[in-house]
Structure 1
Amino acid sequence: MTVSRTSATEARRLRFGVHGSYQLATNLLAAVRHDPEQVTFVPYDVREPFAGLRAGDIDVMIVKYALQEPDVAFSATVAFDGRAVIVAEDHPLAAREAVSVEEVADYDAFDRPGTFPPYVWDQVVPPTTPLGRPIRRVPRMTTMEETAAILRRTRAVHLSFRSLAAAALPGITVVPVHDLPPAPVSLAWLRNRKLPAFVREFITEAERSAQR
C-alpha cells in the first residue's frame, strides 16, 4: 500500500491549541526549529479551555500556571509571559508606559469565564493585590470580542498578559504591569491519550530549549 506524501505530512501535523495571541506558540516553534508548515493552530475557547483537548481535536496546547486537572498532563515551564492590563485606548491607564497592580485595583476587573479553573483564574486575576487591596471581579469574561466591547464602553480593565499585545483588537491598548511576576507557560496534553512520537519529541525539545 502506498501512502501519499500529503497523507504522510498530515499524519505528522502538530495540532497546537492557542488562545488569543499566537506569539508564544510561534516563538516556541522557532526556538525548537519546528517546521511551521507542519503545524495547525487550533484556537480554543477560554470558556471551555480543555474541550478541544478532551475531544481529540488538539494534540498539545499552550497553558499558563500549574494545572490540577486529573486528566490533563503538563510540561515543565517552556517560557514566561509578562503581566499586563488590557484597557480601552481612552482609559486613564492607557497612556502609561507601565502601571502597578495597585492602580489596576481602582477599576472593575473580569470574573472567570465558563468552566475555566478557578485556581488558575485566581492567579490570572488575583482576588487581592500584593498590598491587600481587593480586585473587584465583576463582568464575566466571555469571548475576546465581547470583552473588548465591555472595555470600550466602560472603565473596566482586564488583567492579562503582554503577549496579547500582538492580537489587540481595535480601540484596545495593552499596558505592562510591573509588579506582578510573569506567568510560567507550559504545554498541556491529555494524560490518558498516547501521543504520537513527533508530539512527544516536540514537548521534549521545548523543555530542553527553555533550559538553554
Structure 2
Amino acid sequence: MAAVGIAVVLGLAALLPTAALPCGALQPDNTTASKLLGTWLYVAGAAQFPQHLLELLLIANGHLQVEPGAGEQELPVPQRVAVGDQCLTNNSTYFEIAVGNTTLVKHAKTHQTVGTLMNLSSEDVLLIQYQLQRERTYLGLYLYARNLNVSTERREELERYAKCLGLSEEIVYAPWKTELCQVRDIEKGNSPCREPAAVVTASPPPGTHRPGSAGN
C-alpha cells in the first residue's frame, strides 16, 4: 500500500528560520557524538496534517544507524523504514554536531537543514523534529530509542513536544510485527532493503527512498 500524502523532494527542501523552532533543541557537548553512535529503533511519530498521520499508520517498524564520520562533527545516518511489504531506505542524511550549538539533521548533497535533534531527559531516546517546506511548511516529530521499552515518562515527553510544535495530539506507535528491515541485517552490513536511484521521500523519515519511484 502506497503512503498517502504529498511526496517531498529533499533537494528542493527549503531552510526554515530559527524562529520556527520554539521548543528545546539539543545543544551538544564534547560527549554528544559518541553517545549518538549505534542503532536507534523507531518508536512513534507525530505529524502536522491528517494525511501524514495516515502515513505513520502504515509504518511497521524502522531504525536508523548513526555511524562515525570523517570527524566528530558529521555523523552519517543510514535509515530503514518498513512500510507494507517494502523496506524503504535513506542514506542521504547526517547529523551535524557543533558543540554549544543546535544539533541538526542535514542532507548529504545539498547540506540543507531538514531536521533538528530535540533535548530529552534520557540518553536512551532520540527525538527528531523534521521541518520541510515545499508548497507549505511540513513539521514532523519522530521518536527513536535504544530499545522498544519506552517509559511512560518518555511518551509523555513526546506528547509535550508535539503540543509545543502545534502537531496533532494523536501519537502513532509502530507495531513492530514485520520481518522487514531487521536491525541485525543493518548491523551486519547486509541489509535486505533495496535503494534505487530515486530521491523522492515518504515520511518518516524525510529522504527515505521508495522502491519504484520516479527519479527527480
Relative to the length of structure 2, the TM-score reads 0.30
Give the structure with the higher percent strand.
2
Using CA pairs under 8 Å that are at least 6 residues apart, name the structure with larger relative contact order, 1 or 2: 1
- Looking at secondary structure, tell me which structure has more helix per residue: 1
